[in-house]
Amino acid sequence: MKLYSKRRGAISLVIFALFFGFVLFTAIRGFGYDYTGSISDIKLGLDLRGGVSITYQAVGETPSQQDMDDTVRKMQNRAYGYSTEAQVYQEGADRVTIDIPGETDADKVLGELGTPGTLIFCTDYTNPAGTTRLDGNDIKNAQAGADSENKYIVQLTLTPDGVEKFSKVTGELAGTGKPLYIVYDNQVISQPTCKEQINSDTCQIEGSFTYEEAAQLASYIRIGALPVELEELRSQVVGATLGGKAIQTSLFAALIGLGLVVVIMIVIYRMPGVCASLALIFYTGLIIVLLAAFNQEITLTLPGIAGIILSIGMAVDANVIIFTRIREEIGLGNNTAAAIQAGFKKALSAIIDGNVTTLIAALVLYLFGTGTIKGFAITLALGIVLSMFTALVITRLLLKSLYALGLKDKKWYGEKKPVQEKNFLSRKNIFICASLAVILIGVGFMVGHSIKNYALNYSLDFVGGTSTDVVFNENRTIDQLEEEVQPDVIAAIGSTDVAMTPVLGSNEVIIKTQVLTQDQRSALYGMLEEKYNIDSSSITYDTISATVSKEMTRSAILSIVLAAAAMLIYIWIRFRDVRFASASVLALVHDVFVVLAAFAVFRWTVGNTFIACMLTLVGYSINATIVIFDRIRENQAIMGKQASLKSVVNLSITQTLSRSILTSLTTFVMVFALYIFGVTSIKEFALPLMVGIVVGAYSSVCLAGAVWYIFRTKIAPKKEKELPVQKKTGKKKEKK
């Protein structure tokens, strides 16, 4: 690494200061005449901003549960076009409700969605019953687009059954000039002719469309491809489920946590700590600007804010790895310039491997996840890329510039003397047994709870519940509802799993709870009548299905499994040893099971934030293990094949111990600030994360190296087993 001249260092600092100021100004105020790119442009979810709630009802007889499940699933996919945080759930036996965050015009959304009705493809629109060849179940998707001549078209994607049916009917109509009628709610919406037989799962409808006409036709086809015909029952604009206090306390917690991290970094690392702190603030500003820029792809909910705040803590990690290396080099007697150069060079492989591994996990989560999982994956990937950029580019630029301007004395950078090797492996059996005991205790609690009810304490997000509509005598804001009404509801039903949503422009409030028994319902009605003077006869209720579908849960589990497999393959390739990969993934699985055990033992609520919590843990946990394994790989090369394998592992864990502790501490501080200052829902997210951070540090330091050592000695190729091992006595056996 070539260090800067004094002139170049000064110019670099001036350029950084200008760019730094521009990013922070844009993040706070916005850029241009319309002030775009600021924190106010970030698209917020239902919990923070509210949105549009639309309820549809099935036409005619009550449909089967299978048809309702299919309808909910297809409507969910459609709602994702507005936001990955949109929620769709069944209400009662024949109604479907769609909650779309960030929208304020119910009529506009209704116009774009249309009324879900019946869709058929027939050869004679005057006799559709007898000439129907396909229906909505045969259509997978429909999108407006443009062909190679830039003419607007509608692109259809067919199901496997649809391909067979479509091939048959297009073969019959090809070249005859007879149209294939597309009928929606008994109205012909298009009548294309077939030029040739179509055997693929995609085709396009051509015509003299404007883009708006093509988009409208695609919308009709999508909305009509439902097993149940629906009609609008009601639509309303609902307020946020969390008040302004939630946002204020979260931002306050972020500032407190960020401030503490800055202090910790400066106290421990001195001048490099100042550079890291500036890079960290710059990183925070960039996150805000990019979230605002991609507000069509990312909807930020309260767990999302917590995830961003967590990523700020994680962004310190790369800097800690670099600075630890610099101090080691100074401790070995190198001058400051050489130490800075070697610090970045030796830290690079650990930073790249750790971040690329997590980036692969984010890519898998995005490709195979649904809904909130995709949103989380985008946020995670964004944080990873930016943290690498700020550590490897911004921090490096600042360090080189300050050095060039005269801050060359070693006292500004600190030094780390060679550490005394600690014998971690001597306690490996204790560590492994303790971990197994905790996991088995968790499994025992889950089995015990499952006999009575559910293995975990699932919230209404997972198991559904009761939606109660109450019209109060006066309008109440969400903050007033949280402070005044919600405690009374909790006391009446004996459960903290309560969500309250005000309907804007009215005194109506939707109260969602667990499924209420008759006694709980009577207690709730009695409380509302006695304390708020509400006539119980005007209160309506209905059961609602889970907002986290079984498909979403399966998708989350599949995504985590595939992410773990992808990380295993990457580590295997990078370290050229499947035992490194296996040990890393086992440490990751351990962390997940221990946190699950905590959920089971302490009966923490498993709600919508649970998936985000587990995904965050998967993304976070692998980093510390990679850093230790990177040091083992390096020490194996330095110490040679004659070195004791135990000594290599123990020394590597010892050398990286301060980094493991400090990174976990800074991340813990950020989350702890959330727990102290956050509202109830944020506390439910922060508490298991704090456990996950501690468990992740423990598994990396105490288990990962030990498991690799066991694999290395017990599952070693023959040529490795025959390698001589250095004896501690230093004595040589004499040849006879």
pLDDT score at 731: 44
What is the C-alpha to C-alpha distance for residues 317 and 333, in angstroms, rounded to an integer? 25
Tell whether the model's pLDDT for residue 706 goes beyond 90. Answer: yes
Each as own residue / partner, the long-range contacts of residues 163-166 (CB below 8 Å, 24 or more positions apart, any chain) are 163/199, 163/200, 163/201, 165/133, 165/134, 165/138, 166/121, 166/133, 166/134, 166/138, 166/198, 166/203
Mean pLDDT value of segment 234-263 = 79
Phi and psi of 464, rounded to 5°? 80, -175
Question: Within its chain, how far is the Cα of 672 from the centroid?
Answer: 20
If one compares 29 and 438, the residue with the highest pLDDT of the two is 438
What is the C-alpha to C-alpha distance for residues 73 and 115, in angstroms, rounded to an integer? 17
pLDDT score at 716: 61
Q: What's the half-sphere exposure (Cβ side, CA atoms, 13 Å) at 423?
A: 4
Total residue length of the chain: 736
Three-state DSSP string of 264-297: HHHHHHCHHHHHHHHHHHHHHHHHHHHHHHCCCC
139 neighbors 221 (Cβ within 8 angstroms): yes
372 neighbors 88 (Cβ within 8 angstroms): no
pLDDT band per the 50, 70, 90 thresholds, residue 302: low
Amino acid at 150: N
716 contact partners, CB below 8 Å, separation of at least 6? none
What is the C-alpha to C-alpha distance for residues 254 and 706, in angstroms, rounded to an integer? 36
Question: Within its chain, how far is the Cα of 68 from the centroid?
Answer: 28
Tell whether the model's pLDDT for residue 728 goes beyond 50. Answer: no
Instruction: Give the range among 206-215, 519-528, 591-600, 674-683 with minimum mean pLDDT.
Output: 674-683
- The DSSP bridge pattern shows strands 119-122 and 499-502 to be unpaired
Sole residue written with tokens 């110019």: 11
pLDDT band per the 50, 70, 90 thresholds, residue 700: very high
Tell whether the model's pLDDT for residue 522 goes beyond 60. Answer: yes
Question: Within its chain, how far is the Cα of 360 from the centroid?
Answer: 14
pLDDT score at 361: 80
If one compares 406 and 618, the residue with the highest pLDDT of the two is 406
What is the C-alpha to C-alpha distance for residues 133 and 575, in angstroms, rounded to an integer? 56
What is the C-alpha to C-alpha distance for residues 47 and 86, in angstroms, rounded to an integer? 11
Instruction: Give the range among 501-510, 523-532, 644-653 with minimum mean pLDDT.
Output: 501-510
pLDDT score at 695: 93
Tell whether the model's pLDDT for residue 445 goes beyond 90. Answer: yes
pLDDT band per the 50, 70, 90 thresholds, residue 156: very high
Can you tell me whether residue 68 is helix, strand or coil?
helix
59 neighbors 230 (Cβ within 8 angstroms): yes
496 neighbors 684 (Cβ within 8 angstroms): no
Tell whether the model's pLDDT for residue 727 goes beyond 60. Answer: no
Tell whether the model's pLDDT for residue 121 goes beyond 80. Answer: yes
pLDDT band per the 50, 70, 90 thresholds, residue 726: very low
pLDDT band per the 50, 70, 90 thresholds, residue 371: low
Instruction: Give the range among 214-228, 280-294, 407-421, 449-463 with minimum mean pLDDT.
Output: 214-228
Measuring CA to CA, how many Å separate 388 from each of 4, 353, 355, 644? 21, 11, 8, 34
Instruction: Give the range among 350-364, 373-387, 700-714 with minimum mean pLDDT.
Output: 373-387
What is the C-alpha to C-alpha distance for residues 216 and 91, in angstroms, rounded to an integer? 28
Nearest to 408 by CA among 357, 337, 334: 337
Count CB neighbours of 701 within 10 A.
Answer: 22
Q: Which domains does the chain have, with CATH numbers?
A: 6-41+242-408 (1.20.1640.10), 51-238 (3.30.70.3400), 425-441+549-718 (1.20.1640.10), 465-544 (3.30.70.3400)
Nearest to 582 by CA among 569, 591, 601: 569
Give the H/E segment covering residue 326. helix 302-331
pLDDT score at 718: 53
Q: Report the chain's terminal Cα–Cα distance, integer Å.
A: 54
Entry pTM: 0.75
Average pLDDT, the chain: 84
What is the C-alpha to C-alpha distance for residues 480 and 242, in angstroms, rounded to an integer? 11
27 neighbors 418 (Cβ within 8 angstroms): no
pLDDT band per the 50, 70, 90 thresholds, residue 710: very high
String of DSSP letters for 172-202: HHTTT--B-EEEETTEEEE--B-SS---SSE
Question: Within its chain, how far is the Cα of 155 from the centroid?
Answer: 31
Phi and psi of 576, rounded to 5°? 55, 35
Tell whether the model's pLDDT for residue 615 goes beyond 80. Answer: no
327 contact partners, CB below 8 Å, separation of at least 6? 269, 339, 413, 414, 415, 416
Tell whether the model's pLDDT for residue 227 goes beyond 50. Answer: yes
pLDDT score at 186: 79
Can you tell me whether residue 606 is helix, strand or coil?
strand
566 neighbors 361 (Cβ within 8 angstroms): yes
Q: What's the half-sphere exposure (Cβ side, CA atoms, 13 Å) at 369?
A: 26
pLDDT band per the 50, 70, 90 thresholds, residue 730: very low
pLDDT band per the 50, 70, 90 thresholds, residue 303: low
451 neighbors 606 (Cβ within 8 angstroms): no
Mean pLDDT value of segment 512-525 = 90
Count CB neighbours of 519 within 10 A.
Answer: 10
Buried (b) or exposed (e) across 216-235, using 16+ Cβ within 10 A?
Answer: bbbbbbbbbbbbbbbeeeeb
pLDDT score at 384: 85
- In DSSP terms, 287 is beta-bridged to none
263 contact partners, CB below 8 Å, separation of at least 6? none
Three-state DSSP string of 200-226: CCEEEEEEEECHHHHHHHHHHHHHHEC
- The DSSP bridge pattern shows strands 457-458 and 605-606 to be parallel
Instruction: Give the range among 60-69, 466-475, 661-670 with minimum mean pLDDT.
Output: 60-69
